[in-house]
Chain A
């Protein structure tokens, strides 16, 4: 698959399934790419709410060790015991693809199915139903006949009752040999948009392309074989040199990392056709002096982009279209894939604004007063918990999530920034302006965080307060979906409740 060849940046993909009713409801599935394979209750519930019935789980990646194909980066299956039926997906890395002709189809099929059998047993031990196998091999178009032979071997050796699926590159549709490839499988999953990267930093062309979906589905229908449409739910990061020329894919820092990295400055943020475009520029070189002036561009799909694709597939479906498969379920806390609850909210047309709730826990810190007879009262320690209860996250950037604590009375004697990236005390001056100050003389403290996802919880503190302190907390979140500011404020309850 192309996103593999482009390292961490990938776009979309394909999946598979047995032949179903020609005009039944379209199926929605997801790929699961990280390790280990496990779903928490919330993820499982959201997937069910989305109507997902099965998952396509990466089983492993084959590489060429110089003599044979060997599986690498294996999946570990941890459940859930009553989760979704799965297809196990196997891909080839660039080295293995480069040497396809070195291997006999029968040997490749054996290597793949040997691993599949082991993984299938591992799944069964965890009560995970395996419905089939999917191969994700980005074969060069010129090698499609060889790929067809490989699939024939796999088909011949695959156990009864198991389906065979493949992903498909859009460039294959120009080849007559594609027909003999799809002939071997139960269904296939083409990616109907260009995976090519913008060659210059000025090129803002979105990665997703609904026109390509339209043209691709017409071509797919002509093959007369059931297919699913791969949908992009995963972004990419590209590195450009100081002249704006593409250097290649970049997997070193996530968008969140870049936003809080001291070397990078956010230069541009825009939304183009459902994709968020972030451009960070390195203001200096890295620890070895390299990279000054380089641009790091993140192109991240939004929930709406996924919904748009699904609706387009629904609108354009022909007799052979069976549904869509989204790449992919995000890992916890990652910035590159779209969060499941956000997709669900977008699908249901819900408000995508972030919504902050603030709660506090206050405890006494009596040690100074116990140990020092001169102390007349003890400080308090308060921890604030902030949760985004909305359906949408904030944008990514230094001001995405700003919390202003106003010290109306008393003082904050010590603080920990908790889950925030930056903290800065200020002093309000007589003329109403503010200036940076020490904590001791501050009457305002600003906390900043580069992102707060839908459903995410974070903390401030503990803050050590002098007796009698009064705090007010106000916030300013910049919504990812609209760019609107979501503001509010709340007085902090500092009662010790036990």
Chain B
């Protein structure tokens, strides 16, 4: 299973072209931003993990978007403005330093550092400059000294100038800065012993410098790093002592230091390396619980996994004792175990639930009761004990200050859904969306709601959820395949101020066109301004592999023009008074479909080049709700080759003596042959066998019934070709699933 977002290679597929699907299939992994095309067999009641872990290979089977959705909002104008702002600030900083205007430099640096760190190059250097600007305002120094220091900081490979600055007492506060920076060069070069000594020296020699705080954490970090020997990291006792001492000083002297969290982490690592595995594990649990970002959480999870895998002797017993001693650690422990750690068998979950209940019994007044009960509900759900899950969740929701209230609500709704209380589940999910709009469970709740609506036949409500989730293929499937024309009409009519109204009107009109309701379709298409209609229809675009050039085939055209053409062709059929004339007019209509082929009835704004996903990736395990029939109808309506075949067969049957009859048979054979291998839907075994046999039979019929036709010779030849292709195809499908 691939991790991450659905890898959608849109634009590769044709409206259902043959070669395209093969490529797409090889390019697309699991499609996650979808309900109906996700290849997992999801349990929509199970809460998704809030952290996706990849560093050690654990991959979720079905991640769902959080409240923000899959994609960050990308505002090009904002990004451009930000880039300009950063450039201006950098320029202002340079100017301020070169003018010796350190207050201005400080002001500009503070402004610059307010931008997101990931957008800035060399943030350490900027922070260093800020400290220098501040110190320079407190301590008078020649500007040349500051300029020299700033210049030397930019030459990271050459610490000699930094050392020279540090060695000259006339440089005042800059001595500490330069000595600290020189230690950083040693660190960056992997000379950890040397770096550690230099950092310690800075901390000792410059007790009042702002660099002391930095030097202490760096000394600790360098000492506690450990040394790798034969794949195992070892920590020397003297390094442990020195590192621990540095952290102690940092904690005492800088109780509000921004490095305290980092220090806690390094201390924990030191404990692990010293063999205190259980203590380290419990501390990592605490850090995991306090993690503020996905990246932090991911790092703590990696540590938890790593440490737990190395447990020996009585480590496990010590962890158990630790959980009883500090019940606040139980919540992160449960979260880790449920989502990321160890066995997930029913037996294992039973033990886990027992542990949680025992801790709660021991600490009946603990503030964590609500959050633990929510986890117990989750565990019960995962064990398929939905009644118990509902009970625990309901209990959890009565606890005030429950930080897992969103989880409790989610599990309660999922359990209710399983217990057949669909209305209650619908209300619960709705409440979650209202009360916890930023919860990581919002995306999953929307999915569940959408499926409840689907089961109730409330396609409009389901569509709204898929739109909120930006699940483009589910939207396309509902709008272009599943919803009836009447439902779609109602949807459009009830949302007059929908910003995407024209898109949905276009979809409605295209559905009408496919039903041959030309007048109605024309009316709706014309309600959309011409330019907008052409934009939605991507008129003139070419989805075929190698360009249709000047051909009419496989081109997106304005559907209003298609309607006009079809009206004329239909009128000619209606007007034809003789059998031959009718055959000729019908053959012209069939030829229109055959020659324009695959994109004439295609809705690019919905499928964006990916319609073949409908046949190749559909997950029937999610819901059946009548989709099979809708998908079948959609294909028959959509495929122009099928339309051409149908009309041609009518000509051959109804007007066999007309001059058009052999041409119609020949064309029907070609249409059947193309459809037989057109896309996964038409290639499915039943359809494919039927079409393969049909194309051979029809070609043979041209030869047999119309031996004097101009097409007889070609028909004989292609009859053989089609037969050979059919035999190859069917033979190669033998023994495959």
Interface flags for A262-275 (1: CB within 8 Å of B; 0: not) read: 01100000000000
Q: Is B315 an interface residue (CB 8 A)?
A: yes
- What are 16 A-B pairs at a CB distance below 8 A? A72-B545, A94-B721, A248-B728, A248-B731, A249-B728, A252-B735, A252-B736, A261-B735, A296-B735, A364-B315, A366-B319, A368-B351, A370-B323, A372-B354, A378-B311, A498-B306
Enumerate chain B residues within 8 angstroms of A247, measured Cβ to Cβ.
731
Interface pair A371/B309, CB less than 8 Å apart = no
Chain A residue, CB-CB nearest to B22: A73
Interface pair A366/B355, CB less than 8 Å apart = no
Q: Is B312 an interface residue (CB 8 A)?
A: yes
Q: Is B337 an interface residue (CB 8 A)?
A: yes
Q: Is A66 an interface residue (CB 8 A)?
A: yes
* Chain B interface size, under 10 / 10 to 19 / 20 to 34 / 35 or more: 35 or more
Q: Is B19 an interface residue (CB 8 A)?
A: yes
Interface pair A378/B316, CB less than 8 Å apart = yes
Given contacts A71-B546, A294-B734, contact A364 B310 (CB under 8 A): yes
Please give the distance in Å from B152's CB to the nearest CB on chain A: 37
Contact of A370 among B309, B320, B551, B728 (CB under 8 A): B320
Q: Is B342 an interface residue (CB 8 A)?
A: yes
Excluding A365-B309, A367-B341, 17 further A-B contacts by CB distance (< 8 Å) are A8-B732, A115-B546, A286-B735, A286-B736, A287-B737, A288-B685, A290-B734, A291-B735, A294-B734, A363-B310, A364-B312, A365-B343, A367-B351, A370-B320, A371-B355, A496-B309, A498-B309
Q: Is A253 an interface residue (CB 8 A)?
A: yes
Determine the distance from Cα of A435 to Cα of B717 in the docked complex, in whole angstroms: 62
Interface pair B232/A366, CB less than 8 Å apart = no
Interface pair A248/B727, CB less than 8 Å apart = yes
Determine the distance from Cα of A368 to Cα of B319 in the docked complex, in whole angstroms: 12
Chain A residue, CB-CB nearest to B313: A377
Enumerate chain A residues within 8 angstroms of B458, measured Cβ to Cβ.
none
Chain A residue, CB-CB nearest to B337: A367
Enumerate chain A residues within 8 angstroms of B355, measured Cβ to Cβ.
370-372
Given contacts A7-B728, A364-B308, A370-B316, contact A66 B733 (CB under 8 A): no
Q: Is A431 an interface residue (CB 8 A)?
A: no
Interface pair B348/A367, CB less than 8 Å apart = yes
Given contacts A364-B309, A366-B319, contact A98 B352 (CB under 8 A): no
Q: Is A95 an interface residue (CB 8 A)?
A: yes
Interface pair A252/B733, CB less than 8 Å apart = yes
Determine the distance from Cα of A249 to Cα of B732 in the docked complex, in whole angstroms: 8
Q: Is B585 an interface residue (CB 8 A)?
A: no
Interface flags for A356-399 (1: CB within 8 Å of B; 0: not) read: 00000001111111111101001000000000000000000000
Enumerate chain A residues within 8 angstroms of B323, measured Cβ to Cβ.
370
Contact of A74 among B316, B337, B545 (CB under 8 A): B545
Q: Is B561 an interface residue (CB 8 A)?
A: no
Q: Is A103 an interface residue (CB 8 A)?
A: no
Determine the distance from Cα of A369 to Cα of B315 in the docked complex, in whole angstroms: 9
Determine the distance from Cα of A426 to Cα of B312 in the docked complex, in whole angstroms: 30
Given contacts A366-B315, A371-B355, A498-B232, contact A239 B734 (CB under 8 A): yes
Interface pair B308/A366, CB less than 8 Å apart = yes
Interface pair A371/B312, CB less than 8 Å apart = no
Enumerate chain A residues within 8 angstroms of B308, measured Cβ to Cβ.
364, 366
Q: Is B670 an interface residue (CB 8 A)?
A: yes
Interface of chain B residues 67 through 111 with chain A (CB within 8 A): none
Chain A residue, CB-CB nearest to B724: A94
Count A interface residues, CB 8 Å.
48
Quick one: which of A74, A247, A264, A366 has the most chain B CB within 10 A?
A: A366
Enumerate chain A residues within 8 angstroms of B728, measured Cβ to Cβ.
7, 248-249
Enumerate chain B residues within 8 angstroms of A264, measured Cβ to Cβ.
735
Interface flags for B210-236 (1: CB within 8 Å of A; 0: not) read: 000000000000000000000110000
Interface pair A372/B735, CB less than 8 Å apart = no
Enumerate chain A residues within 8 angstroms of B733, measured Cβ to Cβ.
252
Determine the distance from Cα of A103 to Cα of B240 in the docked complex, in whole angstroms: 82
Enumerate chain B residues within 8 angstroms of A70, measured Cβ to Cβ.
545-546
Enumerate chain B residues within 8 angstroms of A498, measured Cβ to Cβ.
232, 306, 309-310
Contact of B319 among A72, A253, A282, A370 (CB under 8 A): A370
Determine the distance from Cα of A228 to Cα of B643 in the docked complex, in whole angstroms: 51
Q: Is A497 an interface residue (CB 8 A)?
A: yes
Q: Is A250 an interface residue (CB 8 A)?
A: yes
Chain A residue, CB-CB nearest to B348: A367
Determine the distance from Cα of A373 to Cα of B319 in the docked complex, in whole angstroms: 11
Q: Is B168 an interface residue (CB 8 A)?
A: no
Q: Is A251 an interface residue (CB 8 A)?
A: yes
Please give the distance in Å from B732's CB to the nearest CB on chain A: 5
Quick one: which of B308, B323, B670, B737 has the most chain A CB within 10 A?
A: B308
Quick one: which of B19, B717, B735 has the most chain A CB within 10 A?
A: B735
The 6 A-B residue pairs with the shortest CB-CB distance in the complex, in nearest-first order: A498-B310, A363-B309, A369-B316, A371-B351, A366-B316, A367-B342
Enumerate chain A residues within 8 angstroms of B22, measured Cβ to Cβ.
73
Determine the distance from Cα of A373 to Cα of B148 in the docked complex, in whole angstroms: 65
Quick one: which of A249, A264, A291, A364 has the most chain B CB within 10 A?
A: A364
Please give the distance in Å from A416's CB to the nearest CB on chain B: 13
Please give the distance in Å from B515's CB to the nearest CB on chain A: 29
Interface of chain A residues 227 through 282 with chain B (CB within 8 A): 239, 247-253, 261, 263-264, 282
Please give the distance in Å from B598's CB to the nearest CB on chain A: 12
Determine the distance from Cα of A249 to Cα of B310 in the docked complex, in whole angstroms: 54
Chain A residue, CB-CB nearest to B272: A498
Please give the distance in Å from B651's CB to the nearest CB on chain A: 20
Given contacts A369-B316, A378-B311, contact A73 B732 (CB under 8 A): no
Chain B residue, CB-CB nearest to A115: B546
Enumerate chain B residues within 8 angstroms of A261, measured Cβ to Cβ.
735
Chain B residue, CB-CB nearest to A294: B734
Please give the distance in Å from B7's CB to the nearest CB on chain A: 16
Enumerate chain A residues within 8 angstroms of B727, measured Cβ to Cβ.
248
Please give the distance in Å from A410's CB to the nearest CB on chain B: 17
Interface pair B317/A252, CB less than 8 Å apart = no
Given contacts A248-B727, A498-B310, contact A98 B721 (CB under 8 A): yes
Please give the distance in Å from A256's CB to the nearest CB on chain B: 14
Chain A residue, CB-CB nearest to B343: A367
Please give the distance in Å from A255's CB to the nearest CB on chain B: 13
Enumerate chain A residues within 8 angstroms of B731, measured Cβ to Cβ.
239, 247-250
Interface of chain A residues 469 through 498 with chain B (CB within 8 A): 496-498
Chain B residue, CB-CB nearest to A61: B19
Determine the distance from Cα of A294 to Cα of B732 in the docked complex, in whole angstroms: 13
Enumerate chain A residues within 8 angstroms of B732, measured Cβ to Cβ.
7-8, 249-252
Interface pair A368/B348, CB less than 8 Å apart = yes
Chain B residue, CB-CB nearest to A361: B309
Interface of chain B residues 679 through 737 with chain A (CB within 8 A): 685, 717, 721, 724, 727-728, 731-737
Chain A residue, CB-CB nearest to B345: A414
Interface pair A282/B342, CB less than 8 Å apart = no
Given contacts A368-B348, A369-B317, contact A282 B232 (CB under 8 A): no
Enumerate chain B residues within 8 angstroms of A363, measured Cβ to Cβ.
309-310
Determine the distance from Cα of A364 to Cα of B316 in the docked complex, in whole angstroms: 10
Contact of A66 among B316, B337, B545, B670 (CB under 8 A): B670
Determine the distance from Cα of A287 to Cα of B551 in the docked complex, in whole angstroms: 43
Determine the distance from Cα of A239 to Cα of B653 in the docked complex, in whole angstroms: 39
Interface pair A371/B352, CB less than 8 Å apart = yes
Quick one: which of A294, A367, A369 has the most chain B CB within 10 A?
A: A367
Enumerate chain B residues within 8 angstroms of A282, measured Cβ to Cβ.
735
Chain A residue, CB-CB nearest to B305: A363
Interface pair B736/A364, CB less than 8 Å apart = no
Determine the distance from Cα of A317 to Cα of B316 in the docked complex, in whole angstroms: 73
Enumerate chain A residues within 8 angstroms of B717, measured Cβ to Cβ.
98
Enumerate chain A residues within 8 angstroms of B348, measured Cβ to Cβ.
367-368, 371
Enumerate chain A residues within 8 angstroms of B320, measured Cβ to Cβ.
369-371, 373
Enumerate chain B residues within 8 angstroms of A67, measured Cβ to Cβ.
551
Enumerate chain B residues within 8 angstroms of A288, measured Cβ to Cβ.
685
Interface of chain A residues 48 through 71 with chain B (CB within 8 A): 66-67, 70-71
Determine the distance from Cα of A370 to Cα of B278 in the docked complex, in whole angstroms: 11
Please give the distance in Å from B546's CB to the nearest CB on chain A: 6
Determine the distance from Cα of A328 to Cα of B567 in the docked complex, in whole angstroms: 55
